[in-house]
A and B are shown apart, each in its own frame.
Chain A
Amino acid sequence: MALTYIEAIHTAQRELLEESADVFIYGQDVGAFGGAFKATEGLAEAFPGRVIDAPISEDAMAGMVIGAAVEGARPILEMQFADFSSVAFNQIVNQAATHYYRTGVQVPITVRLPSGGTPGSGPFHSQTMESIYAHYPGLIVVTPATVADAYGMLKEAVMMDDPVMYCEHKFLYRWLRADELKKNSLPIGQARIVRPGKDATVVTYSAMVHEAVKAAEMLKEDGWEIEVVDLRSVKPIDIDTIMASISRTGRLLALGEGFPWGGVTAEVVSLVVAEGFHLLDAAPMRLNSKDTPVPYHPDLWAAHRPTPESISVSLKHLLRL
């Protein structure tokens, strides 16, 4: 029976609740209702008192799980949409992220951030927040792109002793399926070569991994072999795997769904240029969404984010075609 990405998240949470009495889930509508995306369906009933509805108070929700984590709990905080975590920004970046450095006490929280665009979601239900959180010292930021990673990285995240921002992509929730949940996936901090190639490297993460693979398929028809690297975690970032790939291909396209100013793709380009300039055969490229809020209409939305078509255009530029 094939599992979807959201079912993998559900399964991971159910197992975490089973495996550790310290785990609880806190978030808006996560209780009897089962969550806006059904990531916690049936869990409140199965684990009484441990899957708890929160008031619409993202700041206090985050503060609450931080305090609970200091007392030994391993809370999972579900933000209904990643966009709303901006209300909890202070608690996340100033309370959770500074806590270990200031006090020596780790804060094992996992913040689930349903991220990214889907058609019709509009400016406030489509944002990707990984670049913002990765900017701050003291946070681990993961961006699973596959069903197996959605499962494995969530389980790993909750058992980590430092705060983890778990950026799950809403666009992948229901169509992405896997026959099994590989239980021994790579650890957080290691990137994965999704598809080997020798002509150019696309370094990307989250839903864009799948768009990059489609673009690579398009170029394959002309004989080009594009390597696709899935970062899996954007912080820490696996510079070794990136550099190894660049040393094979000599060309880099850093691809992300986030806004273009700064962010993960800028960091990738910056690292590669600083540490591997001599490996490059062409100026590295970046492709992001456009520098506007995420638009509502599906036609505008589809043109706002990178697509297989726009990615392949970028790759052709990179290959000097």
Chain B
Amino acid sequence: MADEKVSPDALAKIHHGFRAMILSRTLENKLSSLYKAGKIVGGVYLGKGQEAISASLGTVLIKGKDVYAPLIRDQAGRTAFGEDLLDVTRTYLGKVTGPMKGRDGNVHRGRPKEGMPAMISHLGASLSYIAGMLFARRLRGELNDAIGAATFGDGATSTGAFHEGLNLAAVENLPIIVLVVNNSFAYSTPNDRQFSCDNLISRAEGYGVTGHEVDGTDFLACMDVMTQAAESARAGNGPQLIVANALRLCGHGEHDDAKYIPAELRAQSRDCIEVAESQMQENGFLSSEEIANIKQESKVQVTEAVAIAQREPTPDPRKDDWQALGMKNTIL
């Protein structure tokens, strides 16, 4: 990709995605430190190594119009989609000021009314939920060219919910990007104990949907594929199954040393952030100075978001209304 062939809009998106990758990596490094220092309430599951995939999806989605169900390794996608950094730090630090008010934590945070559902732990469940959001809009005649996206890992493809959801979305021809990040291990379970097809992308044909495959460490390739898939979905071509391959550069969670990942596999893998930095410079999209500035700005933003959240209160059990139903002041 040469600089002169890239439209200003595409270049802006590349910049946006790259910034989200850097900010996400900076934030996740900080979260890892905070976890090790015992400052985090609950578990920490990071997306290191999968930022290119995640950020490129978040970049092609339009907040306020599209809907996006991220999973546990989607900090970069969340950031690219427009999630407030304070939502992240407030949740991880267990503050009542966060979007979940301490009632749920960390990767489970979301703002459903702003197009980002709050994930449950049961894998595959978000696919039909996103389908329903789009279905309701279409029913009202308000779908226009909005799309939805939901992300999964290789392990989630084994669930009934994933199958049911993708089949339903295909039957309804809904504009959904179904992103499967194959990082070769579901927690510790390798692909050959997870599925027996040669490549998950071959499932696209079985579902009657368009399939795309991409090297998840190649940021610009990810941007291309996400852009194509989003355009195709917006044009009414139904679900787009994307399989992106990239090893995660961390454990399943920060409690996990990932010793089950063979050393030779680790040695072969590359860090998408390093790849993206080279791509930005080689194509003249950003200079090394500009990249350094982005990193510095990210550090400042993360430090500030952590500092603000640290000063805020934790939930008070005496102030929670302990109501699981929204209807109040009635017989109920």
Chain A positions near chain B (C-beta within 8 angstroms) = 21-22, 24, 49-50, 54-55, 57-73, 75, 87, 90-91, 94-95, 97-106, 137-138, 140, 160-162, 187-190, 236
Task: Report how far A66 CA is from B139 CA in the complex, Å.
Answer: 15
Q: Which one of B104, B127, B131, B324 has the highest number of Cβ atoms from chain A below 10 Å of its Cβ?
A: B324
The verdict on B319 contacting chain A, using a C-beta distance below 8 Å, is: no
Residue interface mask B321-332, A partner, CB < 8 A = 1: 001111100111
Assess the B332–A189 pair: CB atoms within 8 A: yes
Assess the A71–B136 pair: CB atoms within 8 A: yes
The 8 closest A-B pairs by CB, nearest first: A67-B132, A63-B128, A60-B164, A57-B164, A137-B324, A68-B136, A189-B331, A64-B132
Closest to A49 in B: B139
The verdict on B17 contacting chain A, using a C-beta distance below 8 Å, is: no
Residue interface mask B302-332, A partner, CB < 8 A = 1: 0000000000000000000001111100111
The verdict on B171 contacting chain A, using a C-beta distance below 8 Å, is: yes
What are the residues of chain B within 8 A of A60 when measuring CB–CB? 127-128, 131, 161, 164-165, 167-168
Given A50-B139, A60-B164, A140-B325, the answer on whether A102 and B128 have CB atoms closer than 8 Å is no
What are the residues of chain A within 8 A of B324 when measuring CB–CB? 97-98, 100-101, 137-138
Task: Report how far A66 CA is from B135 CA in the complex, Å.
Answer: 11
Shortest Cβ distance from residue A219 to the other chain B in the assembled complex, whole angstroms: 32
Stretch at the interface among B37-45, B110-118, B225-233: B110-118
Q: Total A-B residue pairs with C-beta atoms closer than 8 Å?
A: 151
What are the residues of chain A within 8 A of B259 when measuring CB–CB? none
Shortest Cβ distance from residue A71 to the other chain B in the assembled complex, whole angstroms: 4
Closest to B159 in A: A59
Shortest Cβ distance from residue A140 to the other chain B in the assembled complex, whole angstroms: 7
Assess the A91–B139 pair: CB atoms within 8 A: no
Assess the A57–B111 pair: CB atoms within 8 A: no
Given A101-B103, A103-B99, the answer on whether A61 and B111 have CB atoms closer than 8 Å is no
Given A100-B324, A103-B100, A190-B331, the answer on whether A59 and B120 have CB atoms closer than 8 Å is no
Given A94-B120, A105-B113, the answer on whether A64 and B326 have CB atoms closer than 8 Å is no
Assess the B128–A67 pair: CB atoms within 8 A: yes
Task: Report how far A66 CA is from B117 CA in the complex, Å.
Answer: 11
What are the residues of chain A within 8 A of B122 when measuring CB–CB? 90, 94-95
Assess the B136–A72 pair: CB atoms within 8 A: yes
Q: Which range contains the number of B residues in contact with the other chain?
A: 35 or more
What are the residues of chain A within 8 A of B112 when measuring CB–CB? 70, 99, 103, 105
Assess the A68–B135 pair: CB atoms within 8 A: yes
Shortest Cβ distance from residue B83 to the other chain A in the assembled complex, whole angstroms: 14
Residue interface mask B89-116, A partner, CB < 8 A = 1: 0000000000111011000101111000
Task: Report how far A103 CA is from B99 CA in the complex, Å.
Answer: 7
Assess the A70–B131 pair: CB atoms within 8 A: no
Q: What are 30 pairs between A and B in contact, CB < 8 Å?
A: A49-B139, A54-B168, A55-B167, A57-B128, A57-B165, A59-B161, A60-B161, A63-B126, A63-B127, A63-B128, A63-B161, A63-B165, A64-B129, A64-B168, A67-B117, A67-B131, A71-B132, A72-B136, A94-B120, A97-B324, A98-B120, A98-B324, A100-B325, A103-B100, A103-B111, A104-B101, A105-B113, A137-B324, A162-B325, A187-B331
What are the residues of chain A within 8 A of B120 when measuring CB–CB? 94-95, 98
Assess the B133–A162 pair: CB atoms within 8 A: no
Task: Report how far A101 CA is from B132 CA in the complex, Å.
Answer: 20
Knowing that A100-B326, A140-B325 touch, tell me 15 more A-B residue pairs with CB under 8 angstroms: A54-B168, A59-B160, A63-B129, A63-B131, A64-B135, A67-B133, A68-B135, A70-B112, A70-B133, A94-B120, A94-B121, A137-B324, A140-B332, A162-B326, A189-B330
Given A55-B168, A57-B164, A236-B332, the answer on whether A66 and B129 have CB atoms closer than 8 Å is yes
What are the residues of chain B within 8 A of A189 when measuring CB–CB? 330-332
The verdict on B140 contacting chain A, using a C-beta distance below 8 Å, is: yes
Given A102-B100, A189-B332, the answer on whether A59 and B132 have CB atoms closer than 8 Å is no
What are the residues of chain A within 8 A of B65 when measuring CB–CB? none
What are the residues of chain B within 8 A of A72 when measuring CB–CB? 136, 140
Task: Report how far A90 CA is from B111 CA in the complex, Å.
Answer: 21
Assess the A102–B168 pair: CB atoms within 8 A: no
Assess the B128–A59 pair: CB atoms within 8 A: yes
The verdict on B130 contacting chain A, using a C-beta distance below 8 Å, is: yes
What are the residues of chain B within 8 A of A160 when measuring CB–CB? 327
Q: Which one of A95, A162, A190 has the highest number of Cβ atoms from chain B below 10 Å of its Cβ?
A: A95
Contact residues, B63-90 vs A (CB, 8 A): none
The verdict on B36 contacting chain A, using a C-beta distance below 8 Å, is: no
Closest to A160 in B: B327
Shortest Cβ distance from residue B30 to the other chain A in the assembled complex, whole angstroms: 25
Closest to A189 in B: B331
What are the residues of chain B within 8 A of A188 when measuring CB–CB? 331-332
What are the residues of chain B within 8 A of A50 when measuring CB–CB? 139
Shortest Cβ distance from residue A286 to the other chain B in the assembled complex, whole angstroms: 26
Shortest Cβ distance from residue B315 to the other chain A in the assembled complex, whole angstroms: 13
